[in-house]
């Protein structure tokens, strides 16, 4: 386990400080960013170089790029509701894989909908007492679609 306390220098700054690199050549322009990343890697505080060792959950174990491991609260995975370890969720996933395979779907315009997703849209619309509900394949897609609908050039509000 990595119980190493990071150096104060490794906790200073952010990637924003490297958004406008200066210098005559590519290596000169990126040297300070490289030094920053290397310092954060050595101190296990670079959020981009970690891998899950076990199933994501409220607490999880990670591996750093140098092979060291760490354990702590999980604020980084997409298991927002900490449901991936619940037995009923796992059983439903196994049943869905057995019935439908591992197709990840995608955009509704390109065979992303299934009879199940359409039924869920209908059930949600009924529950919410609205005419339509649209399911998005990703959280990013939902956020983007919402922002475009609310502030786009053809907003109906």
24 or 104, higher pLDDT: 24
CA Rg, the chain, in Å? 22
The reported pTM is 0.54
pLDDT digits (tens, 9 = 90+) for 106-137: 677 777 788 888 999 999 999 999 998 988 87
Beta carbons of 136 and 121 less than 8 angstroms apart: no
User: Minimum mean pLDDT among 6-15, 22-31, 34-43, 47-56: which range?
Assistant: 47-56
Residue 3 has pLDDT above 80, yes or no: no
């Amino acid at each position: 386990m990595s119980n190493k306390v990071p150096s104060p220098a490794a906790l200073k700054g952010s990637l924003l400080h490297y958004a406008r690199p200066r210098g005559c050549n590519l290596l000169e322009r990126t040297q300070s960013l490289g030094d920053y990343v290397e310092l954060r890697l050595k101190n296990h505080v670079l959020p981009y170089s970690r891998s899950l060792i076990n199933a994501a959950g409220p607490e999880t174990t990670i591996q750093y790029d140098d092979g060291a491991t760490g354990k702590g609260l999980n604020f980084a995975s997409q298991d927002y509701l900490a449901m991936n370890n619940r037995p009923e969720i796992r059983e439903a996933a196994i049943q869905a894989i057995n019935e439908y395979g591992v197709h990840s779907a995608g955009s509704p315009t390109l065979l992303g909908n299934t009879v199940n997703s359409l039924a869920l849209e209908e059930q949600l619309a009924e529950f919410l007492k609205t005419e339509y509900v649209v399911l998005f394949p990703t959280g990013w897609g939902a956020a983007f679609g919402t922002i475009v609908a609310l502030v786009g050039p053809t907003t109906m509000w």
